[in-house]
Each structure stands twice: as structure tokens, then as C-alpha cells.
């Protein structure tokens, strides 16, 4: 586990939005998809997912409905609302800006400054 | 954040708690099961997989709680907790609770009542479509809205500013539906009245401009909805029926819209009739340009026209008319626009000023109450300092403690607001049903509406925050270690300073209120014992209008003489006489008079505008007006004799120079008649209680007939018996003549209404102010004694005398009281200048008032410090010292 990166605050929400933007998922599915997408490089404690999911529902970014999973179990599926999709786009853009700026800053050498 | 999603989330949390919990459990367990499935597939045994899945999930309960919190609404829970705690603490001190709630209820109730009246009088518009651009025409020269019919027609047809100009006037008539004739109030309105106001009838039709074809051409009546309900029991078949108004046949064509009471606020007429029929109820000539009898002309301004532009437009027409008809319309040059609902500035301005003043005083009451509660809260916070210290020491945040204190304040303020509002609703209901002036169909509909409730709620919350904020500093500064160490015997130190200031402010405000109310009460008492120039005691008035029973000309004069003789013959009646109008009566007439040597009788050369009364022989004795010299009228002063008059002293002084010169002299009226003065009477009050001496003269009713008369009956008999006797006597003479009987004092309701209301309102506020100062001083005195119990006990043990103990215990509150009262008295005296405008003879420089205020505040102080003083004196030092 030592080579897994710690999550920056606020990034969990964005990861969840990204995961769900590809299609409705139940909670465990969100976890799996985040794992796939990040190449298992990011650590999310499993239970920590749920407060985030409930918060996103409260904020009207996700909506939830009960359904049946591929394992034939009852599970709650989450999908993006219109507001959620919009927020996802905005957050992605601002993340990209930040990431570009950060990497540019970290790559600069003494003579360039 | 999306509000609907948020609300759904909170709603689920609070209203479907059980389902939410089971949902959440199922979801989390489903997660663990899915993980276990995966682990099992990778080769673990079922048990091992489940165990591993649970471990990977992490602290189940913690995440469940966190999820629950993520649903939002944490503050609601905190709030509910605060409220529950506050309710519990308040229940433990019921005395505090009752005192604070009642104090606030009084203050908020007073504000709700005053605001409701203000709302009804000034803020609420007339009940017609688009009331905001409805304006009446105000003539600046003589400060009235009265117009003559020809002028109205000219202004209606020539103005470019109004959509439609309408006119109305108020008169009375006898309505005969076949049996018992009854008295009704007419609103005579121009044909375009309903159409211009945009009103639809409830039933049938209204009359239109097209119904008017010259004088007395439109015998149509529209009943008001209220009159139709009360007098025709909502009988729909009434429409189309012919009734008689003053013996003239009228067809009831329709019923007005519900809740429409005409275009004068609070005045509730019974029947609308076309104004072109005016000659059937009034003596006024429709074609006489100089006869300004139309009560009001008004209309909606055209879109985009400002009141100033409209006034300019009217000035143009007025100047033109003055040029064309110099004999009549000289004064017709300058107009302004005024709100029609309270008769423009005539009633509107004093009403606005008075109500604003009252609102200010009510606001002061609330401020005083807040100061009072603030000091109570500060004292309470000080008493609870140990509890607060303990909570702080145990890790509670200061914010949380303050929130608790505010929750208490808000709870009390809401409870106080609710109680106060309930009380004010009862009061306002009563006020709305009351008919303040018996002769007029006036009803003050001041029932509270949504605006009033909102204001009361707002005041409650704001005052809660204000007095809740007083102890904030105390809590923020509290040092738990010091407080717990020092115990309950802290010295009474600087912490009092803020409270002292609050108390002084509060007492000053209360003293202002007590001063104002005393000034007002004293003013009213004086104005009631004023010399009016006639007697009020032992007089009955009998109003009749012979037109209502169809009398005309000579017939009417003969009937009037028979009526006087019949009433004078009733046992116990000293004298009876007729007058067309009475001084300080509902109606009054004034006219221009000219000196005898004026030949050009145009308005600008008039010597004076005078009140004129047409009276029968015996009037001066019946009315109790003293004749200074000359003679009274006799039955021989009739049509065959040259016209004579009796003038008052002011008239004699102004027109002739002195009483002696007036007697036997002549003056002229507008139409050129020369009138000889045969007597001079004392002055009186004619148009208002506050007027300066006005010139007035009396004519013989035999020479200047009037069908509308009031009989003044002078008798020492019980008025309750005399009234029916007069009524029976007159009914014997003509059963078809409506008769209205009241006492002379009651007839002056209209003039006493303002001062009376002012006095009642100020009196109530004064009493409330006094009560607040009692509770304030009591609170401080009691607190100060209880804080110093130990010190006082030691003093007593060391042999202090009673006076010394009292001084130590109560010197401070008493000093504050004296200081506050002094400041308040000074302010009150200054503020009373405003009162003098409303309440006749209200002068603050009245030694009785000043002494009264000082005495009242002293008594209040004595009353409020009595119990604390007793407590201080009854201290048993031994018991006290043993306790510590």
C-alpha cells in the first residue's frame, strides 16, 4: 500500500463524478471504477465513499435509485443529474488548469525564473 | 447547492427517519456483500471473504454517522437542542418568564395596534382598481376640495391630464320602500363614477354618463353591497324595484361591488344616486357657478402625467375660468392634487402627523421594553455565571453558550409577540366595529392584515436579538477559572455600568410617555370645560329634514313653527328652537359679507368670511348663548319685514369697529341684500375647538328658510325619557318624517374625536410606560439587594440603622430613577409642543402637569422599591452568615 498516493481534499468528489459520468453505478462499482481509472494508484478507504455520495445527492449533483446489480443483489445506483454534469465539467476544467500550473511551476529551473 | 435536493434530503432525515436508516444500512451491507463476492471469486472461503470485506470497509458505524451528517440539516438539530434546553431553563424560572413575556407582549401589542391603524389610514389604498394614480383636486386658495357643478363640468371637459374626472358629494335622504321610511346616506356621484373607477356591479347595472340628461333626469339608485345585505337581506329580486327617496320615485338598478364603500376612507354610504338629481336633496343650484357644494372631484391621471403637470393643467383652466367669470371664480387659479381617501391634506396631514408621532412613541415603548429585558437578561446571565463557567470549563464553546442565550431571548420574544398580537387583534376588532361619530356612517376598518402580522413578527425577532445581545460581552469575557474560584460573593463592580445606562434610558423614555399622556389628559379635560359660547348640558338635538317628508316652501315654514310649539309644550321643556346648522355641528355654512358702503361685491372686496346660522326665535335662550346687547329674533322677523341679523362680538369688532357701532348698523351680502344688525351675541367656537375668535352672524329662519333643521331643546328632564316623548309628539304630527335625536354633547363627537382618541392613545401609552418603569426599577432594586445581601448583613450585624441599610441597598436605583425622570421630564416638555397641535390647550408649562409627573415618577419609584426595601430590612445577619 505504500506506493499509493493520498487523496487531496476535494478530489474524491471529482473522482466520483467522473466515475458516475460514464454510466450509472452502485457504490461498490464507483469504488472499482475509480480503482481502474487510476490504475489502483489512489487510495480510497471503502467506507469513506458513502458520506461523499450522500453529500453529492444532497447537493443535487447525483440522483440515486434502487436496482439489481450484476451479482444479482439489490444495490443503490447513482447517476449524474443535469446540475451534476455541469459541475463535473467545471471541476474538470479547473482541475486541469491547476494541474497544468502546478506541473509548470514544479518543472521550472532557476535560469527561467 | 440545489435547494430542492437539499430540502428533500433534510425532509427525509426528519420525517422518514426509520426508512432512511434501514435504506442506509442496506446500502452499506450491499457494498460489503459485493466486495465479499469478489473476494470469494478470487479464492477465499465464504467466511474469510466476508471478514476481509468488513475489514476493508473500515469503521462501519463511523461512516454511517458521517453519511448521516452528510445529509445536511445539522444546524436544525443544534437549533432544536438549543430550544429544548432553553425551554427547560425557562420553565425553571416561571416568574422571569411571565414578567418578560408580558412586558414584551404589551410593547409589541401597542406597536401592532398603532401600526395597524397607521396601515388602515395611510398605507392601504382605496379599494378600487389602480388606486395609486387616483387624485383629488385641491383648491389652494381656500384649502378645500369643494367645487361648484359648472366648474366641475368645465374642468372635466377641458383638462388634458385625467382619464376621466368624477365628482361626488354626500347627502342624506329618507328612503321609503312602502313601509317605515328610514334614513339613508347618499353618495351622489357623477354619471361616469363607476365606469371611471373601473367598478362592476355585483348585481344588475350601475348608472353611466349616458343616463344623465340635465337636472333630476336620472332616477336610478345603486345600493351598496353592505346596505343591500343589512336592509334587504340580500334579496336579489330588489333589482328593478321602484322605491321613494325623499318621496321621489327611484329605480334600484343594481348592487355595488362587495367591499366597496365609496371613495372616502371609512365613510360607508348606503345608496349611490346620480349627482344631476342633487336638487332633490339639497338646496344647491346645479347651474350656480358660485355655489361650491360638490364634496370632491377626482380621477385617474393619464399614463405619464405627473401630479405637478396635472396641477399646471388645472391652473390653466382655472385662470381661464376666472377671466371668463370674474364674479365667481376669482379664487380658482391655483390647484394641487391630493390623495382622495382622507380628503386630501385637510384630514390627511394632521392624521399622518399624529399617527407618525404615535408610532414613534410606540417604538419608544418597545425600546424601553428592550432596555428593560436587556437589563433583566444581563442580571440573569450574571446569576448564571457559575453555570456558564462550568460549561466553558467542560469544553463547551462560547458560541454555543451565546446561541443558547439567544435561543432563550428569541423564544421569549416570539411568545411575547404572539401574546401581544393576539391582544391587539381583539382590540382592533372592537375598534373596527365601533362607530366613533354617531351622526356619520363612519367605521374605522383597522383589522390587521398580513402586513401587520409581518411587522409584529419582525419587531418580536428584532427586539429579541436586541435584548439578547446585552449579555454577550459578559459571556465572552467570562473567565471560568476566576468565576469558579471566587464563588457567589463577587463584588458588584463595573458590570453594572451598561445596565445602569439602560435603566436610565428606559426611565427617561417612560417619563416622556407619562408627561405626554398627562399633558394630553389635562388638555382634554380643559377643552371639555371650555366656554363654547353655548351650553352643552341639558340640551337635546332633534334633526329633521322636511324635504324627506315632501314639505315645500310656506308649508315647511308652517310645519316648523308647529313643531317648535309642540315640543315646547312637552312638560319639562324650557325652550325649543330651530337652526339650520349649529356651531360645532356636522355641517357649517360660511359666507362673505361686505361693509355697507362697498358697491363692487366681488369676493376680493369682502370684509370677512363669516359663519352664518339661520335660527328661529328663541334660539339664543335654547342654545344658552348670551346676547350682549340689542334684541333676539321674534316671530315678526319674517319675510314681510326688512332682513335683520344678530352678529357676534368678533363680527361687530371687525366690520363695525365695536359693539356699540354695530347695533343698528347695516352690512351687505354677496347678492346685495342689506341686513340690519339688531343684536350682538357673545362669541363661541364654530368650526373647531382650537380656532381663534371667528366672526359669525345669525339670520331669522323666517327670512332665510331652510328645510334641513336641528331643533335645540333645553330641558332639565332626564334625556332618556325626553327623547321618546319628543319622537312620539313629532310622529303624531307626521308619521312619514324621519327624526334623529341625540344629545348636544354627542353631536360634538366629530370635534372631540381627535382630542379624545389622542388622549386615549397617549393615556394608554403613558400607563404602559409607567408599568415598564416599575418593572425596570423593581428589577434593578431587587437584584441590587440580593447581590449585596452579605454586605448588608454585616452592616446590620455591626449596628447600622434602618436608614443606613436602605441607603446602602437602594441609593443606586433611586439615583438612577431621579436622573432618568429628570431627563424624561425635560424631553417630554419639549415633545409636548407637538401635542399642542392635536390636543386643544395642551401646554406642558402647566404646574399641575409638572407636579403630576414628578409625583407619578416618585410614586412609581416608591412602589417599585418597596419589596426590595422590605427584603433589605428583614435581613437576619446570623442566618445569612451561617449560610456561607
H or E element in which residue B297 lies: strand B296-301
Cβ of B37 within 8 Å of Cβ of A58? The answer is: no
Section B397-414 average pLDDT = 85
Give B424-481 pLDDT, tens digit per residue: 999 888 888 877 776 677 777 778 888 888 988 998 889 888 888 877 777 777 777 7
Do B655 and B695 form a contact (C-beta atoms < 8 A)?
Answer: yes
CB contact under 8 A, B27 and A47: no
Question: Which chain B residue has its CA at the smallest distance from A87's CA?
Answer: B1
- Which residues in chain A have Cβ-Cβ distances shorter than 8 Å to B7? none
Greatest mean pLDDT among B269-278, B284-293, B531-540, B547-556 lies in: B269-278
**DSSP three-state, residue B708:** strand
Cα–Cα distance for residue pair A66/B601, rounded to 1 Å: 99
> In whole angstroms, what is the distance from residue B352 CA to residue B342 CA?
10
Nearest residue to B197 via CA among B267, B272, B270, B122:
B272
Alpha-carbon torsion (B269, B272, B276, B278), positive or negative? negative
Separation in Å, CA of A72 to nearest CA in chain B = 10
Helix, strand, or coil here: B287? coil
Residue B446 DSSP code: -
Task: Give, to the nearest 10 degrees, the angle between helix A49-58 and helix A27-37.
Answer: 110
Task: Round the average pLDDT of chain A to a whole number and report it.
Answer: 84
The HSE-up count of residue B490 (CA atoms within 13 Å, CB side) is 18
Distance CA B171, CA B185 (A): 6
**pLDDT tens per residue, range B123-148:** 777 778 888 888 998 888 777 888 88
What is the pLDDT confidence band of residue B573, given thresholds at 50, 70 and 90? very high
Locate the DSSP E strands across B107-210.
Answer: 134-139, 162-176, 182-189, 203-204
- A54 and B26 in contact by Cβ < 8 A? no
pLDDT at B653 over 70: yes
Residues of A in contact with B72 (CB under 8 A): 58
Choose from A7-16, A78-87, B762-771 the range with maximum mean pLDDT. Answer: A78-87
Name which of B762, B786, B776 is nearest B863 in CA terms: B776
Phi, psi values for residue B525, rounded to 5°: -60, -40
Residue showing cell 376612507: B265
Q: What ipTM score was computed for the predicted complex, to two decimals?
A: 0.87
C-alpha cell at B62: 463511523
A51 vs B63: CA distance, rounded Å? 7
Please give, rounded to a whole number of angstroms, the shortest distance from the CA of B407 to a CA of chain A: 28
The pLDDT of residue B622 is 93
Residues in B touching A77 (Cβ below 8 Å): none
* Residue B14 touches partner A, C-beta closer than 8 Å: no
Whole-number pLDDT of residue A7: 64
Distance CA B700, CA B639 (A): 9
Task: Convert the pLDDT of each residue in B586-607 to its tens digit.
Answer: 778 888 899 988 888 777 788 8
3-state secondary structure of B709: strand
**Eight-class DSSP state of B207:** -
CA B562 to chain centre: 44
Q: Can you say whether residue A40 is alpha, beta or left, with left for phi > 0 and alpha for psi between -120 and 50 degrees?
A: left
Between residues B196 and B843, the one the model is more confident about: B196
Tell me the nearest-neighbour CA distance from B30 into chain A, angstroms.
Answer: 6
How close is the nearest chain A Cα to the Cα of B34, in Å? 7
Q: Return the beta strands (E) in B670-800 as ranges.
A: 674-681, 696-700, 708-715, 739-743
| Average pLDDT of the residues of chain B | 84
Closest among B544, B703, B732 to B636, alpha carbons compared: B703
- Chain B contact present for A43, CB below 8 A: no
Q: What is the 3-state secondary structure (H, E, C) of A44-98?
A: CCHHHHHHHHHHHHHCCCEEEEEEECCCCCEEEEEEECHHHHHHHHHHHHHHHHH
Least confident of A29-43, B89-103, B435-449, B711-725: B435-449
Q: Which residues of B touch A28 (CB under 8 A)?
A: 30-31, 34-35
What are the grid coordinates assigned to B548, written together? Answer: 324627506
Contact residues, chain A, for B62 at CB < 8 Å: 47
Nearest to B58 among A46, A54, A73 (CB): A46
Closest-CA distance, A106 to chain B, in angstroms, reads: 34
Helix (H, G, I), strand (E, B) or coil at B611: strand
In terms of pLDDT, which residue wins out, B195 or B760? B195
Q: How many angstroms separate the CA of residue A80 from the nearest CA in chain B? A: 13
> Which range among B330-339, B364-373, B863-872 shows the weakest confidence by mean pLDDT?
B330-339
Choose the closest CB to B58 out of A45, A54, A57. A45
- The pLDDT of residue A43 is 66
Residue B553 vs residue B646, higher pLDDT: B646
Is the CB of B60 less than 8 angstroms away from the CB of A47? yes
Q: What is the pLDDT of residue B493?
A: 47
| Contact (CB, 8 A) for B579 and B747 | no
Contacts of A27 in chain B (CB under 8 A): 27, 30-31
Task: Write down the pLDDT at residue B607.
Answer: 86
- Cβ atoms of residues B252 and B273 within 8 Å: no
| The pLDDT of residue B833 | 66
Q: Which of B5, B27, B63 sits opposite A58 (nearest CB)?
A: B5
For the stretch B615-629, pLDDT in tens is 999 999 999 999 999
Going by pLDDT thresholds of 50, 70 and 90, the confidence category of residue B839 is low
- The answer to which of B243-257, B337-351, B392-406, B446-460 has the lowest mean pLDDT is B337-351
Q: Which residues are registered as beta bridge partners of B674?
A: B668
The three cell numbers locating residue B825: 421630564
**Between residues 56 and 115 of chain B, which touch chain A (CB distance below 8 Å)?**
56-60, 62-64, 66-72
pLDDT given for residue B142 in this prediction:
73
Confidence of residue B853 (pLDDT cuts 50, 70, 90): confident
Residues 6+ apart with CB under 8 A from A95: A11, A14
Put simply, whether A1 touches B (Cβ < 8 Å) is no
Whether B6 and A60 lie within 8 Å, measured CB to CB: yes
Amino acid at each position: 500500500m505504500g506506493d499509493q498516493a493520498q487523496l487531496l481534499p476535494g478530489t474524491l468528489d471529482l473522482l466520483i463524478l467522473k466515475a458516475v459520468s460514464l454510466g450509472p453505478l452502485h457504490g461498490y462499482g464507483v469504488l472499482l471504477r475509480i480503482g481502474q481509472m487510476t490504475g489502483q494508484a489512489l487510495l480510497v478507504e471503502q467506507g469513506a465513499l458513502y458520506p461523499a455520495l450522500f453529500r453529492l445527492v444532497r447537493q443535487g449533483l447525483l440522483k440515486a435509485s434502487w436496482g439489481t446489480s450484476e451479482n444479482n443483489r439489490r444495490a443503490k445506483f447513482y447517476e449524474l443529474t443535469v446540475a451534476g454534469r455541469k459541475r463535473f465539467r467545471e471541476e474538470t476544467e479547473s482541475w486541469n488548469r491547476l494541474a497544468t500550473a502546478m506541473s509548470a511551476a514544479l518543472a521550472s529551473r532557476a535560469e527561467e525564473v | 447547492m440545489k435547494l430542492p435536493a437539499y430540502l428533500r434530503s433534510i425532509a427525509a432525515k426528519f420525517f422518514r427517519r426509520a426508512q432512511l436508516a434501514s435504506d442506509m444500512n442496506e446500502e452499506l451491507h450491499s457494498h460489503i456483500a459485493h466486495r465479499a463476492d469478489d473476494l470469494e471469486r478470487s479464492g477465499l472461503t465464504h467466511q474469510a471473504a466476508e471478514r476481509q470485506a468488513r475489514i476493508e470497509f473500515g469503521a462501519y458505524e463511523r461512516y454511517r454517522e458521517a453519511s448521516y451528517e452528510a445529509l445536511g440539516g445539522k444546524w436544525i438539530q443544534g437549533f432544536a437542542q438549543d430550544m429544548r434546553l432553553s425551554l427547560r431553563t425557562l420553565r425553571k424560572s416561571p416568574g422571569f418568564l411571565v414578567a418578560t413575556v408580558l412586558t414584551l407582549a404589551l410593547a409589541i401589542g401597542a406597536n401592532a395596534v398603532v401600526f395597524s391603524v397607521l396601515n388602515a389610514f395611510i398605507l392601504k389604498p382605496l379599494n378600487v382598481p389602480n388606486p395609486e394614480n387616483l387624485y383629488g383636486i385641491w383648491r389652494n386658495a381656500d384649502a378645500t376640495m369643494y367645487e361648484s357643478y359648472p366648474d366641475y363640468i368645465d374642468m372635466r371637459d377641458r383638462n388634458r391630464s385625467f382619464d376621466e374626472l368624477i365628482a361626488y358629494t354626500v347627502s342624506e335622504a329618507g328612503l321609503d320602500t312602502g313601509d317605515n321610511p328610514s334614513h339613508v346616506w347618499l353618495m351622489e356621484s357623477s354619471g361616469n363614477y363607476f365606469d371611471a373607477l373601473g367598478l362592476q356591479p355585483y348585481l344588475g347595472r350601475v348608472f353611466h354618463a349616458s343616463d344623465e340628461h340635465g337636472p333630476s333626469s336620472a332616477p336610478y339608485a345603486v345600493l351598496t353591497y353592505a346596505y343591500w345585505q343589512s336592509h334587504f337581506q340580500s334579496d336579489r329580486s330588489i333589482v328593478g324595484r321602484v322605491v321613494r327617496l325623499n318621496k321621489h320615485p327611484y329605480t334600484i338598478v343594481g348592487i355595488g361591488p362587495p367591499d366597496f364603500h365609496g371613495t372616502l376612507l371609512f365613510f360607508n354610504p348606503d345608496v349611490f344616486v346620480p349627482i344631476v338629481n342633487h336638487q332633490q336633496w339639497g338646496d344647491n343650484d346645479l347651474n350656480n357657478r358660485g355655489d361650491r357644494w360638490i364634496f370632491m372631484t377626482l380621477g385617474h391621471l393619464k399614463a405619464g402625467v405627473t401630479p405637478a403637470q396635472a396641477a399646471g393643467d388645472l391652473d390653466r383652466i382655472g385662470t381661464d375660468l376666472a377671466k371668463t367669470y370674474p364674479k365667481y371664480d376669482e379664487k380658482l387659479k391655483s390647484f394641487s392634487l391630493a390623495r382622495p381617501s382622507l380628503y386630501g391634506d385637510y384630514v390627511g396631514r394632521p392624521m399622518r402627523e399624529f399617527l407618525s408621532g404615535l408610532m414613534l412613541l410606540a417604538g419608544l415603548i418597545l425600546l424601553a421594553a428592550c432596555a428593560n429585558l436587556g437589563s433583566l437578561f444581563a442580571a440573569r446571565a450574571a446569576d448564571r455565571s457559575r453555570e456558564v463557567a462550568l460549561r466553558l470549563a467542560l469544553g463547551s464553546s462560547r458560541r454555543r453558550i451565546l446561541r443558547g442565550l439567544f435561543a432563550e431571548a428569541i423564544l421569549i420574544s416570539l411568545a411575547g409577540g404572539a401574546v401581544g398580537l393576539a391582544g391587539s387583534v381583539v382590540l382592533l376588532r372592537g375598534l373596527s366595529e365601533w362607530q366613533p361619530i354617531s351622526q356619520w356612517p363612519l367605521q374605522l376598518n383597522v383589522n390587521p392584515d398580513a402586513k401587520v402580522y409581518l411587522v409584529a413578527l419582525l419587531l418580536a425577532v428584532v427586539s429579541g436579538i436586541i435584548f439578547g445581545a446585552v449579555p454577550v460581552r459578559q459571556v465572552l469575557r467570562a473567565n471560568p477559572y476566576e468565576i469558579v474560584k471566587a464563588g457567589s460573593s463577587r463584588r458588584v463592580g463595573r458590570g453594572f455600568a451598561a445596565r445602569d445606562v439602560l435603566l436610565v434610558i428606559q426611565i427617561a423614555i417612560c417619563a416622556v410617555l407619562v408627561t405626554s399622556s398627562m399633558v394630553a389628559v389635562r388638555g382634554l379635560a380643559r377643552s371639555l370645560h371650555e366656554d363654547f359660547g353655548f351650553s352643552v348640558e341639558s340640551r337635546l338635538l332633534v334633526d329633521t329634514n322636511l324635504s324627506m317628508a315632501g314639505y315645500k316652501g310656506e308649508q315647511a315654514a308652517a310645519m316648523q313653527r308647529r313643531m317648535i310649539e309642540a315640543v315646547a309644550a312637552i312638560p319639562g321643556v324650557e325652550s325649543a328652537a330651530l337652526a339650520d346648522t349649529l356651531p360645532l355641528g356636522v355641517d357649517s355654512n360660511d359666507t362673505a359679507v361686505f361693509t355697507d358702503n362697498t358697491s363692487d361685491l366681488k369676493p376680493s372686496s369682502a370684509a370677512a368670511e363669516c359663519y352664518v346660522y339661520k335660527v328661529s326665535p328663541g334660539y339664543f335662550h335654547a342654545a344658552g348663548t348670551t346676547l350682549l346687547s340689542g334684541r333676539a329674533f321674534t316671530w315678526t322677523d319674517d319675510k314681510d319685514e326688512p332682513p335683520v341679523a344678530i352678529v357676534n362680538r368678533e363680527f361687530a369688532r371687525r366690520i363695525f369697529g365695536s359693539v356699540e357701532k354695530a347695533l343698528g348698523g347695516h352690512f351687505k351680502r354677496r347678492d346685495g341684500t342689506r341686513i340690519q344688525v339688531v343684536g350682538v351675541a357673545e362669541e363661541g367656537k364654530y368650526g373647531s375647538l382650537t380656532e381663534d375668535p371667528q366672526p359669525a352672524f345669525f339670520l331669522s329662519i323666517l327670512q332665510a328658510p331652510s328645510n334641513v333643521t336641528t331643533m335645540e331643546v333645553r330641558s332639565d328632564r332626564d334625556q332618556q325619557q325626553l327623547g321618546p316623548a319628543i319622537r312620539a309628539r313629532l310622529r303624531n304630527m307626521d308619521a312619514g318624517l324621519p327624526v334623529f335625536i341625540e344629545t348636544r354633547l354627542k353631536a360634538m363627537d366629530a370635534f372631540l374625536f381627535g382630542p379624545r382618541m389622542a388622549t386615549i392613545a397617549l393615556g394608554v401609552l403613558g400607563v404602559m410606560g409607567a408599568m415598564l418603569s416599575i418593572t425596570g426599577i423593581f428589577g434593578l432594586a431587587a437584584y441590587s439587594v440580593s447581590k449585596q445581601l452579605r454586605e448588608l448583613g454585616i452592616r446590620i450585624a455591626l449596628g447600622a440603622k434602618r436608614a443606613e441599610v436602605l441607603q446602602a441597598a437602594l441609593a443606586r436605583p433611586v439615583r438612577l430613577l431621579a436622573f432618568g425622570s429628570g431627563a424624561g421630564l425635560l424631553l417630554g416638555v419639549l415633545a409636548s409642543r407637538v401635542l399642542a397641535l392635536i390636543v386643544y390647550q395642551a401646554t406642558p408649562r402647566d404646574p399641575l402637569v409638572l407636579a403630576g409627573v414628578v409625583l407619578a415618577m416618585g410614586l412609581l419609584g416608591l412602589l417599585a422599591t418597596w419589596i426590595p426595601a422590605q427584603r433589605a430590612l428583614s435581613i437576619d445577619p446570623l442566618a445569612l452568615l451561617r449560610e456561607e
